[in-house]
Structure 1
Amino acid sequence: MTDQRGGQARGRAHAPRPPRERLHRGLTLSERRAQRRQALLDSALELFGTKGYAATSIEELCRTSFVSTRYFYEEFQNREDLLASLYEDLLARAWEEVLAAEVEPGPDYLRRDTRARVGAFVHALLDDPRAARIVCLEAVGVSPALEARRRSAHLRYAEALANFFLDYFPEGTDPGHDFELVALGMVGAINEIIIDWMERDEPGSLDQLIDVVCELFLVLGTSRWGNPERWGTRPAR
């Protein structure tokens, strides 16, 4: 029904608007929670990455991040849950850097592409030694649950690495059923190489480390499946 001026009838029901979150110091509740969570992750990066996980208490984490213990337990079940979340975050950032690495098409593409992606991963961890310590040392042997998460992360990296090399295989080439085992060996190798580099008194440059890992990947990834020089200059798929 309309009124005499053709307008919409008064009293028509309108859909209720969703309630607006109350602001506190200009932030919504969800924004405040995200801020507290990030503050705890930042404190964990500093304390776990310098003092170590075993030497860091929840009280110290809260004091450093200016987050109360009450709010700590709103975000994380316990200290191990915080470590596991930080571990996953650091690996996710490293993987983003690997995916973002690009090289120009041309000769020796496989070697240059491998070095770019290995370099991205190494720099993502070792440009901040705290990150490398947490991923490669502090998260090891904490509990069966965290070991399962580490194992799952290694398997994901191995699958991605296998797919990376498979892109270079000519159509119809069968790399063999154990190709993913070789890729898993590469993941374990880079983990141990990084640990050794971190614990040396004079570790050398990151470029040297990247060269070693790159050469290892190329040897393991190509020696059993033919000469990569015959594979062309760009991925097959």
Structure 2
Amino acid sequence: MTSDRPGLDLRRLQRRMRLLEVGVDLLGAGDGPAVSVRAACRAAGVTERYFYESFADRDTYIREVYAEVGEQARAALVTAVSGAETPTETAELAVRAFVALVLDHPEAGRVLLLAPLRDPALGGRGLDLAPSFVVLVQDQLRGVADPDERALRALGLVGALTSLFIGYLDGTVTVPRERLIRHCLDLLDRAARP
């Protein structure tokens, strides 16, 4: 008698990944989060039994969807800048990678930037990801000698960029994509000056 355990584990992982995918669409919906266990199951094509094999409850699910998108964003930025040779090239590649993530996949952008403000299950989760983004920005401010000043500028810049992208996602910022990219790069350039 052979065990089908690897097959069961694979199917469980596939269901979990499918639930996380639909969670991005539900949590990042344009008209606001619409996440319930029933909605997630319906969208993923699974029963609630399978939902609960992966997630304890709705709030755990939302937090894991958010963490998944946060990790995707961090990985996209790290990958984008890995081949850069100059600070200017690094900044442009990072900005373009983040713009692609947020604007080409607005649901993911809304999960990352708006969901922490809209869904109580996330509470202050947006603050959990901020330090990793601040460190990425700080690395671009090498021209600023004082480490405290570099940290302050990086934190302020992450706040400004976050506000810009939120504005783009909610429709209050309506400039063309390239102009947004140029503006973000200009902010980075100004912050990097000694």
The TM-score, its normalising length taken from structure 2, stands at 0.86
Question: Could you tell me how far apart the structure 2 residues matched to 1:201 and 1:159 are?
Answer: 28
Q: How many matched pairs?
A: 192
- What is the Cα-based RMSD across aligned positions, in Å? 2.5
- Cα 1:104–1:80 change in 2 (3 A) is closer
Q: Which residue of 2 aligns with 1:112?
A: 89
Question: Could you tell me how far apart the structure 1 residues matched to 2:3 and 2:139 are?
Answer: 45
Counterpart of 1:160 (choices 112, 123, 136) is: 136
Compute the displacement of 1:104 (Å): 6.3
Which sections of structure 2, spanning at least 5 residues, go unmatched?
none
Query: C-alpha deviations, 1:72-92, integer Å up to 9, x for none?
Result: 122112222222212221122
- Percent identity over the alignment is 26
Verify the 8 A CA contact 2:28 2:108 in the aligned structure 1: yes
The TM-score, its normalising length taken from structure 1, stands at 0.71
SS of the residue 1:216 aligns to? helix
Question: Could you tell me how far apart the structure 2 residues matched to 1:128 and 1:134 are?
Answer: 10
| Aligned positions of 1:1-237 closer than 5 A | 21-22=3-4, 28-50=7-29, 51-53=31-33, 55-102=34-81, 105=85, 109-143=86-120, 146-166=122-142, 169=143, 174-200=145-171, 203-222=174-193, 225=194
Verify the 8 A CA contact 1:21 1:29 in the aligned structure 2: no
- Cα 1:96–1:56 change in 2 (3 A) is closer
Letter aligned with residue 46 of structure 2: V
Moved over 3 A (4+): 102-105
Which sections of structure 1, spanning at least 5 residues, go unmatched?
1-18, 226-237
Letter aligned with residue 100 of structure 1: T
Question: Could you tell me how far apart the structure 1 residues matched to 2:94 and 2:43 are?
Answer: 35
Compute the displacement of 1:221 (Å): 2.4
Letter aligned with residue 196 of structure 1: G
SS of the residue 1:97 aligns to? helix
- Cα 1:216–1:100 change in 2 (3 A) is same
- Cα 1:175–1:21 change in 2 (3 A) is farther
Q: Which residue of 2 aligns with 1:16?
A: none
